[in-house]
Chains A and B, each alone.
Chain A
Amino acid sequence: MTQERTRIAEDEKGKRATYDDIRVGETLGEMAWVVTEEMIDQQCEMDMDYHLWFSVDSPWGGRIAPPQLSYRPPRWLFSRAYNVRGLFYKWEMENLKPIKPGVTLKVTGTIADKYVKNDREFVVYQAEAVDSEGSVIFRTRRTHVLDFVERTAPRAGKGIDSGIKPEKI
């Protein structure tokens, strides 16, 4: 007997967002984000990527973060608005200035697009971070596929994992 293929309808954090729920142009709000020395250490350990600039000192004065530390805050903004587990599909990033510990960044985001391709549903969101002087530190644009399973499968299953995560590295 074959099991019917389904898409996840809900998980322990609540109902999964559907394609129809996603509103293109919607702001994802903003968050104040302060990078800590511990976050930089964690990122280097996760990526197994160590460099003097990330650990000790840099030409910008003090330690800086690996630029990919910028992945999480936009994802948190997205998760505050929509419970999408899905899979990461596209990642655009632009590093304009180094991310420094102890500096408060304002991160803002919007839903940029959504589309259907290969019988799957995609959502595009974009975000940028500025410092207290208004200088842009990074910009990013990401695409997530809502489900690994095709959109023609019924949305009925219950998931274990969730798109809503603790807001920590």
Chain B
Amino acid sequence: MPVLNADTTVGCELPQIARQLRLEHFKRGDEKTIHTDMEAASREGLPAPVAVGPQVAALIFQQLRLCFEHGWIEGGKCELTFRRPVFVTDFCVAKGTVTRREDVAEGVRLYCDVWIENQNGENVIVGNASGIVPAPNELSPP
């Protein structure tokens, strides 16, 4: 069952999804990239190798799948901003809250603020997302 449903109210907190990043998570064979190699990162002006953005954002996608299930796969929307680099040994946790409800033909669209904090409490990825939950009198999707 999805975490969110038609009874969910504005202000509801989304489940938190955390991950301790490691350099090994970003290696692809022997390739030297800004995600795996100090010199490659340094030449681009970066102080250290940075995590692959989509792999960090995946914490939010996992959160949204838990929240909406079917309504994330069909009808899910997301707008993210990568505000600051995430380094390959950072700790990241995805958080979020429900901000708005809207009745739509398919059910109820729930809008959320979503973000990822690092170990220092800094918001490294911020944005908003939405997904659809069945209307109160609807049967579950197929």
Contacts and interface: CB of A to CB of B under 8 A. Distances in A.
Interface in A13-55: 46-49, 51, 53
Interface string B79-116: 11110010000000000000000000000000000000
A88 B76 contact: no
Contact of A87 (B33, B79, B85): B85
Contacts of B85: 87, 148
Interface residues of B, number: 36
B121 interface: no
B57 interface: yes
B78 A93 contact: yes
B interface majority secondary structure: mixed
Contacts of A51: 65
A162 to B, nearest CB: 9
B35 to A, nearest CB: 8
Given A49-B58, A89-B82, A90-B81, A95 B44 contact: no
B49 to A, nearest CB: 10
Interface string A116-154: 000000000000000000000000000000011100010
Contact of A67 (B45, B73, B82): B73
B29 to A, nearest CB: 9
Contacts, number: 105
Interface in B58-82: 58, 61-62, 65, 70, 72-82
B32, B37, B40 pick with most chain A CB within 10 angstroms: B40
A59 interface: yes
Interface in B16-54: 19, 25, 32-34, 37, 39-40, 43-46, 50, 53-54
Interface of B: 19, 25, 32-34, 37, 39-40, 43-46, 50, 53-55, 57-58, 61-62, 65, 70, 72-82, 85, 141-142
13 contacts: A53-B73, A60-B142, A87-B53, A88-B54, A92-B79, A93-B78, A94-B76, A95-B72, A95-B74, A160-B37, A160-B39, A160-B43, A161-B34
